[in-house]
Amino acid sequence: MAEMRPLIAGNWKMHGTTEALAEARALAGNLKADPTPPRVALCPPHTLVAQMAWALRGSQVEVGGQDCHVEPKGAFTGDVSAEMLADAGARLVIIAHSERRAAYGETDEIAADKTRAALRAGLEPIVCVGETLAEREAGNTLDVVGRQVRGSLPRELAGRAFAVAYEPVWAIGTGLTPTVAQIEEVHRAIRAILAEMFGAEGQGAPILYGGSVNPKNAAEILRVPEVGGALVGGASLKCADFEAIVRAA
């Protein structure tokens, strides 16, 4: 398999006003001297995307959105399109995060439509999947995640840059993480499905792990076979913590 550059993406969720851009600027400044940097991205709330893209222009830190609508424009009060994110300077977009699946009823079909929208706008989608605690305890993890991967990744991804993020719902924001063996099992299963869906091209997409990644556990998690990076929530809000995770990659 070709060596792929890990991707470390920060998901700020609904955190951050203008003053938080100082953290992003500090991160970009500190990473400047790194000779073999991983790919690094920050996904702030929509209100900060344009300002952050401007603040980080010329740096190695890319900017992403946290969600997009399926349509390019229209009467959809409160929504933001993939084209608008791209226009604001985003390069990536998180699709179907479990918080959106749970709170907004985003199904695999909606995830696939939003992924198509991201591709249409030239954005790199980070498509999220992951089981609930009840699903894991019932022994259904691989079934659930497999169904989400097959249903949320449209055929149009063939030959395009994208990432999958495996985020067990019970590990998000809880301080709990799966064992490395559990992470490896799911990541290997996702890789096999990507190979089945996209052939050799499916080998190039990084599979990120997400859920309570922090400076202490990052190195161990990022060493797990088939872990191609991390999607980081809480620990991406502080430059020092996020930088430590980036340096562990």
Looking up tokens 């990432």, which residue turns up? Answer: 163
Count of residues of this chain found to bind ligand PGA when the rule CB under 6 A is applied: 13
* Among 233, 239, 241, 245, interactor with ligand PGA by CB under 6 A: 233
* Among 6, 210, 228, 229, interactor with ligand PGA by CB under 6 A: 210
Residue number, nearest CB to ligand PGA: 233
Q: Per the structure block, which two tokens stand in for 53?
A: 């893209």
* Parallel, antiparallel or unpaired: strands 61-65 and 7-11: unpaired
Residue 40, classed as helix, strand or coil, is strand
Q: Per the structure block, which two tokens stand in for 114?
A: 């939003």
Q: How far is residue 15's CA from residue 13's CA, in Å, rounded to a whole number?
A: 6
Q: Per the structure block, which two tokens stand in for 134?
A: 């009840």
Q: Per the structure block, which two tokens stand in for 90?
A: 């985003």
Active site residue 167: yes
Is residue 234 involved in binding ligand PGA (CB under 6 A)? yes
> Residue 24 contacts by C-beta under 8 Å, 6 or more apart in sequence?
42, 44, 52, 55, 56, 61, 239
* Among 29, 72, 122, 173, interactor with ligand PGA by CB under 6 A: 173
Looking up tokens 């400044």, which residue turns up? Answer: 29
Exposure letters 180-214 (e unless 16+ CB within 10 A, then b):
beebbbbbebbbebbeebbeeebebbbbbbbbbbb
Is residue 11 involved in binding ligand PGA (CB under 6 A)? yes
Is residue 213 involved in binding ligand PGA (CB under 6 A)? yes
Is residue 211 involved in binding ligand PGA (CB under 6 A)? yes
Is residue 231 involved in binding ligand PGA (CB under 6 A)? yes
Is residue 115 involved in binding ligand PGA (CB under 6 A)? no
Is residue 167 involved in binding ligand PGA (CB under 6 A)? yes
* Among 81, 115, 148, 212, interactor with ligand PGA by CB under 6 A: 212
Find out whether 8 and 232 touch, Cβ atoms under 8 Å: yes
Stretch touching ligand PGA by CB under 6 A, among 25-33, 45-53, 147-155, 231-239: 231-239
Q: How far is the CB of 64 from ligand PGA (least distance, A)?
A: 12
Question: Which entry of 83, 124, 131, 167 is annotated as an active-site residue?
Answer: 167
Is residue 168 involved in binding ligand PGA (CB under 6 A)? no
Active site residue 97: yes
Q: Tell me which residues touch ligand PGA (CB under 6 A).
A: 11, 167, 172-173, 210-213, 231-235
